[in-house]
Structure 1
Amino acid sequence: MSEIVNRVAQSSIISLDLEEIYPKEERVVFDLEPFLFQGLVLREKDFRLALKEIDWLQYKNKWVAVLCTADAVIPNWAYMLVSTYLTGIAKGYAVGSLKTLEVMIVEECLSQLDLNSFQDRPVIVKGCSNFPIPLFAYGRIVSLVQSKAKSIMYGEPCSTVPLFKKPKS
């Protein structure tokens, strides 16, 4: 009986599992609506005092979306002021919706990839994950890897869908 050889493991194929690099920390919202006077106006002095009273450690190692759910005009400095409290405590934050936060997280985690490691190699972007990876991440990884990779496929090494193949020069 011959030995079973895992040819995929021995090949130059890079299997890229977004779930392995995508952060799983909790996502939360910091809403400015409770700080509005009569639900309409943000008073700077009152807002500053209220922010000083918050236990900011509740945001430790969490991803935070800073937004206002009320239909009010919020000055830009208010979002920036909240950001100063979150810096160094939160894992990261974005001014905007949870969806905006996810886009920022994707950009941040994919920017840490060594794109040169994909140079002239076939890449499989793993399809199944137990953690919800935003669709945006799949499009973004193609845009980053396509200029380097020999080919890009989607799925599992045993069953892939070809997406791109670099033309022979």
Structure 2
Amino acid sequence: MGGNPLVPTPLWPLPDWVMDAEDGHGALADYLSAFVLGERASEPYRLASVDGPPEFERHVGGWGEIMMNWRPPEDWPAGESGKIAYLESFTRAYGRGRYLFPAITGAGKTMHPLMAWWAVLFVLSMLARYEPARWGAHIAVDSSRHAVTLERILGRAREVVPQVVAETLQEVGG
């Protein structure tokens, strides 16, 4: 490959348990094991801090970020288009970006964004239908610590799900 063979990308949000671990490299590797990285699994990345602990950046709200430098295989095409194609080989398009999605247990494939939204909305609908008193307690703004979060999830779903359905139909329709 010509130029810099590494493909730098930020990885976020990282949970506290990864950033606060005594062995940051091991915790990051454990975290990444939940994602399908294919051939990248043996040495998927290099960090700026190879000899020391990972340089996690903690953001407001507690979530963290780290700059990953992915190493494409030797036979991967050179240049910016090759780097973009490499990232596309193990990420999924979602909204205006590309993301790592967790693996579905045993399937060796990532969860599709539409499936992730379906699972969230299915669980919430089952709670509302079969446990209406508990649902009511969870959405009571004056007394539930979950109410605002649930309101945000449902509001986001109203915006995002139609877009994800349209994108999925285009994806499978050719």
TM-score range, shorter chain: under 0.3
Higher gyration radius (CA): 1
TM-score scaled to structure 1, two decimals?
A: 0.24
Higher relative contact order, chain-length normalized (CA < 8 Å, sep 6+): 1
Q: Between Structure 1 and Structure 2, which shows a larger proportion of strand residues? A: 1
Q: Between Structure 1 and Structure 2, which shows a larger proportion of helix residues? A: 2
